[in-house]
Amino acid sequence: MNVGEVAALAGVTVRTLHHYDRIGLLSPSGRTAAGYRRYSAADLDRLHQVLLYRELGFPLEEVATLLDDPSADPAEHLRRQHRLLRDRLERTRAMVAAVEKEMEARQMGISLTPQERFEVFGEHDPERYEAEVQERWGDTDAYRESSRRAAAYSKEDWVRIKGEGEDLTRRMAEALRAGVAPDSAQGMDLAEEARQQICRWFYDCPPQVHAALGRMYVEDERFTATYEKAAPGLAQWVSTAVQANAARQG
Amino acid sequence: MNVGEVAALAGVTVRTLHHYDRIGLLSPSGRTAAGYRRYSAADLDRLHQVLLYRELGFPLEEVATLLDDPSADPAEHLRRQHRLLRDRLERTRAMVAAVEKEMEARQMGISLTPQERFEVFGEHDPERYEAEVQERWGDTDAYRESSRRAAAYSKEDWVRIKGEGEDLTRRMAEALRAGVAPDSAQGMDLAEEARQQICRWFYDCPPQVHAALGRMYVEDERFTATYEKAAPGLAQWVSTAVQANAARQG
DNA sequence: TGCACAGCCTGACGCTGCGTCAGGGTCAAG
DNA sequence: CTTGACCCTGACGCAGCGTCAGGCTGTGCA
């Protein structure tokens, strides 16, 4: 793809891509004879990561070191991004609540103290902080340890993770064939097992989040196809089981 | 207050306050004989607004024009901030969902198309866009009309708004004294009326949001005091009614 | 075959929103 | 009256692009 196409796709300007090329953050993997930049699928992948980290407030140079770190596999980036995004969600929620409180206070003729007003973004140093926490944590042994363990996943444990997942899918398919109802206790137990697997290997996945994932299993045909390959009707079955399990816990 | 104190309170650096002074965005209302900046409560107020708008991605110059617009009363700023914050909340939620989808896809060995990956922040031009939409809308007649009407609140209708609020509070107090249960149909109807009032005059307030406000009525002593002044036990009564009403609708 | 027009290239300068010294007064405590 | 924390005003620097300028490329159509 040419710069213009990539820019349009990613929602950035051509100048931005030029800039990323110049500073070595994202250099297209090829050029035409005339010197035109040519971006490959892998380049798009990287651009995606760059934009996510940028949105999270990381300075570009740090983004480069993060993405070039050979000890960090893709899954680790996803986990980190997920964590930071959830932090931001929390913060935004707090700010919305603060504005609503202020409105309510106005209507009732109460005026809030300055401390109250500022506390929602006090200390935070808006976006920066998220990146800094990363940096700080990056220096502690504990984090490095856990991070290294995480990175080690894709080397040897990855097989085990995949195996566990496939094993569970197989047991679900068996249950389906045996006529087990997805919203029965047994069906929900299987769904719960799936949720726990995500928690253990990937990220903290509360029932509500899991329910959203469940919906995706029937809405996105590629996920559907993967389950249908194990057993016809399994996508719908799993989706229902997950929802029922979430409702049971909620 | 001195610069250092203000800076600590608001979570910004002294340099930032110097900068805001220099560009005329926020000049302290006084100076000591020695030239020290002295910030008043009104200055803190303004700083608060500045930081909110800044966080929302507005360039400082635009923040200045917004805050110096004489036809914009405080309530209008709150409504705008509220709207923009909710937009951001939505966007962040979408990004979290996208990362989760990507994780799930990885685990199942599916790979997403570039289009899919970028769509969450495609087009958006991260923060900037929020401000731009403002600008664009600011040019349409419809918006200017509604905006002017909104601004007119605090001039004459403000009395009516206050009146409506007090009237409702009085009727609630009467209900309480008459022994009406807060979670009875009558109690919930009163709560619903309160919610509608917020919708009409301030911002779109779905039942869930209203429930959160209800909790505040008993948690924040100043809100509690306002209600207790109308009738002892009213704060708890209103809170319960609001929650019941939200549950009824949810 | 040629040309018009969109798209690509490489400098180079500009702008915002501060961070970061430098060099020098101020004030409260001890 | 001194020490250390705090304040002042320049002045320069830096990230992350926006925005020309000046020139080559590629293609659809006459």
Q: Is B205 left (phi over 0), alpha (psi -120 to 50) or beta?
A: beta
Q: Final residue of a domain: which of B42, B68, B94? A: B68
Q: Considering only the beta carbons, identify the residue of B81, B89, B114 that sits closest to A44.
A: B114
Residues A64 and A78 in one domain: no
Q: Which of A68, A91, A117 is the last residue of a domain?
A: A68
Q: What is the pLDDT of residues A139-172, one digit of tens each?
A: 333 333 333 334 334 334 555 566 667 777 778 8
| Cα(B236)–Cα(B223) distance, integer angstroms | 11
pLDDT of A226 > 60? The answer is yes
Structural domain for B102, as ranges:
74-139
Q: A96 falls in which pLDDT band (50, 70, 90)? A: confident
Give bridge partners of residue B200 from the DSSP assignment: none
B159 and B241 belong to one structural domain: yes
Give the CA B33 to C1' D7 distance in Å: 12
Q: Which residues of B touch A88 (CB under 8 A)?
A: 92
State how far the Cα of B7 lies from the Cα of B14, in Å rounded to an integer. Answer: 6
Chain B interface mutation, best of A44, A47, A55, highest count of B Cβ atoms under 10 Å: A55
Proportion of chain B in helix, strand, coil states, percent, rounded to 5: 75, 0, 25
Q: Are residues B43 and B107 in the same domain?
A: no
pLDDT score at A135? 37
In a domain, B191, yes or no: yes
What's the Cα-to-Cα distance from A197 to each of A162, A169, A173, A201, B209, rounded to whole Å?
A: 11, 12, 17, 6, 33
**Whole-angstrom Cα distance, residue B30 to residue A117?**
22
Using CA atoms, how far residue B80 sits from B9, B52, B65, B85, B130, in Å, is: 24, 11, 14, 8, 11
A149 in a structural domain:
no
Q: Are residues B59 and B85 in the same domain?
A: no
A126: CB partners within 8 A, 6+ apart = A57, B55
Look at residues B14, B169, B146 and name the one whose alpha carbon lies nearest to residue B72: B146
Contacts of B117 in chain A (CB under 8 A): 44, 48
**Assigned domain for B145 exists:** no
pLDDT at B19: 97
pLDDT of residue B209: 66
A35 falls within a domain: yes
Please indicate whether residue A174 or residue B61 has the higher confidence score (pLDDT).
B61
Contact assignment for B89 to A96 by CB distance below 8 Å:
yes
d(CA A96, CA A92): 6
Same domain, residue pair A78 and A64: no
A165, A245: one domain: yes
Nucleotides of D under 7 A from a protein CB: 6-9, 15-19, 24-26
ipTM exceeds 0.90, yes or no = no
B79 and B62 in a common domain: no
Q: Is residue A94 part of a domain?
A: yes
* A169 and A224 both lie in a single domain: yes
Backbone angles phi and psi of B195, in degrees to 5: -60, -45
CA A227 – CA B110 distance, rounded (Å): 12
Task: Render pLDDT for A35-78 as a digit per residue (tens, 0 to 9).
Answer: 999 999 999 999 999 999 999 889 999 999 999 988 777 778 88
C-alpha to C-alpha distances, A218 to A16, A181, B116, nearest whole angstrom: 38, 17, 17
* pLDDT tier at A91, thresholds 50, 70, 90: confident
Residues B119 and B176 in one domain: no
Return the nearest residue to C18, CA–C1': B16
Domain boundary among B88, B109, B139: B139
Cα A223 from Cα A237, distance rounded (Å) = 13
Same domain, B20 and B103: no
Convert B163-177 to b/e letters by CB count within 10 Å (16 or more is b).
eebeebbeebbebbe
The backbone region for A113, taken as left when phi is positive above 0, alpha when psi lies in -120 to 50, beta otherwise, is: beta
Residues of A in contact with B125 (CB under 8 A): 11
- Cα dist from B37 to A64, B14, B45, whole Å: 41, 11, 16
Contact B243, B214 (CB under 8 A): yes
Distance CA A181, CA B227 (A): 51
Token look-up 């496939």 returns A166
Please state the φ and ψ torsions of residue B209, each to the nearest 5 degrees: -65, -40
Q: What is the CATH number of the domain that holds B28?
A: 1.10.1660.10
Q: Residue B128: its pLDDT value, please? A: 37
pLDDT confidence tier of residue B126, bands split at 50, 70 and 90: very low
Longest Cα–Cα distance of chain A, Å, equals 70
Q: Is there a domain that residue B52 lies in?
A: yes
Say if B9 is an interface residue toward chain A (CB within 8 Å).
yes
What is the number of domains present in chain A? 3
Q: Any idea what DSSP says for residue A140?
A: S
As given in the structure block, the two tokens for residue B90 are 């939505």
Say if residue A135 is in the same domain as residue A172: no
Rounded Cα distance between A102 and A96, Å, is: 10
Mean pLDDT of A164-192: 81
pLDDT value of residue B204? 60
pLDDT at B61: 93
Give A121 or A230, the one with higher predicted confidence: A230
Report phi then psi at A84, rounded to 5. Answer: -65, -40
Give the least confident one: A5-19, B24-38, B165-179, B202-216: B202-216
Q: What whole-number percentage of chain A has pLDDT above 70?
A: 67
Write down the mean pLDDT value for chain B.
Answer: 75
Per-residue model confidence (pLDDT) at position A234: 82
Band of the pLDDT at B29, cuts 50, 70, 90?
Answer: very high
A150 domain residue, yes or no: no
Residue A114 CA distance to nucleotide C22 C1' (Å)? 34
For position B153, what pLDDT does the model report?
44
Q: Is the CB of B179 under 7 A from strand D?
A: no
Q: Let me know whether A182 and A232 are in one domain.
A: yes
CATH code for the domain in which residue B201 is found: 1.10.490.50
Whether residue A47 lies inside any domain: the answer is yes
